[in-house]
Homo-oligomer: A and B are copies of this chain.
Amino acid sequence: MAKTDTKTKILDTAERLFAQKGFDAVSLRNIIEAAKVNLAAVHYHFGSKQTLLHAVVSRRLRPVNEERLAMLAEARAKAGKRKLKLEMVLESLFVPVFRAQASHKSGGSFTRLIGRVVFDRNTELQKFMVSELAQVIIQFSRAFDEALPGLNKTEMDWRSHFMAGAMAHTLCNADLLASFTGTDAGADGYETTVQRLVDFTAAGFRAKVST
C-alpha cells in the first residue's frame, strides 16, 4: 500500500493542478507541496516533469480509448450488414471520456486536462498524444467513412476537425459556458451533454456541402 501511495498521490495531484493551471504554469514544487511528498520522489518515480505529464495523461486516456474502440466494435456488431449509424459512432467517441469524468470523482479535472492537452503546443506532448490516439484515429475515421459514404475525403477531414474542436472545448472549458451564459454545464448528467454534442456534430457532419 505504502509503495504505490506516493506514486498515485503525485499522479492525482499533478492531474488536478495541470488541469487547473496548465502544464507550464505548474511547478514540480507546487505539486509536491500539495501532495505532501518529497521533491526527488517525482524524478524517482517518473524521471522528469515531461514524463510525469505523459503518465498522468496515459493513466486516464488509455482505458478511455479502449472503451471507445470497444463501443465502436459493439456498434458495428449491432449494425450487422446495415450501414453504421453516425450517431452511434459519435457516441462511441464521446461517452467514454465524458463518463470517465462523472464516474471517477476527480472533480472533472482529468477531462479538462485531456481537453487542454489537445490544444497545448508542446512538441513532446503532441508526439506522445499522436501515438496514444493512433488506433482511435484510424478506427474512427474509417467508421465515419462508413457512416457517411457520400462525403468526400477533404470535407470529411474538415468536419472531423470541427467535431474535435467542439468536443475538446466542451471537455476543457465547460466552466466558461457557465460564466458567459449562466447555463450550468454540470446541471444535467454527462448523458445530456453527450446527447447535445451528438445532435450538434451529427447535424454538422450531414450538412449539405455548399458549392
Tell me the bound Cα distance from A42 to B182 in angstroms: 38
Chain B residues within an 8 Å CB radius of A182: 157
Considering only CB atoms, which chain B residue lies closest to A137 in the complex? Answer: B180
Most chain-B CB neighbours within 10 Å: which of A130, A153, A166, A177?
A: A166
- A159 to B136 Cα, complex, angstroms: 26
A210 at the interface (CB under 8 A from B): yes
Chain A residues with a Cβ under 8 A of chain B: 20-22, 24-25, 116, 118-122, 130, 137, 141, 153-155, 157-170, 172-173, 176-177, 179-183, 193, 195-197, 199-210
Answer whether A169 and B161 are a contact pair too, CB < 8 Å, given A199-B208, A200-B207, A207-B200.
yes
Question: Of all chain B residues, which has the CB nearest A20?
Answer: B121
A164 to chain B: closest CB distance in Å? 6
Known: A25-B122, A169-B169. 20 other contacts (CB 8 A): A22-B24, A25-B121, A116-B121, A130-B180, A137-B180, A141-B181, A157-B177, A159-B200, A161-B173, A162-B169, A162-B196, A162-B197, A165-B166, A165-B170, A165-B173, A166-B166, A199-B208, A203-B204, A203-B206, A203-B208
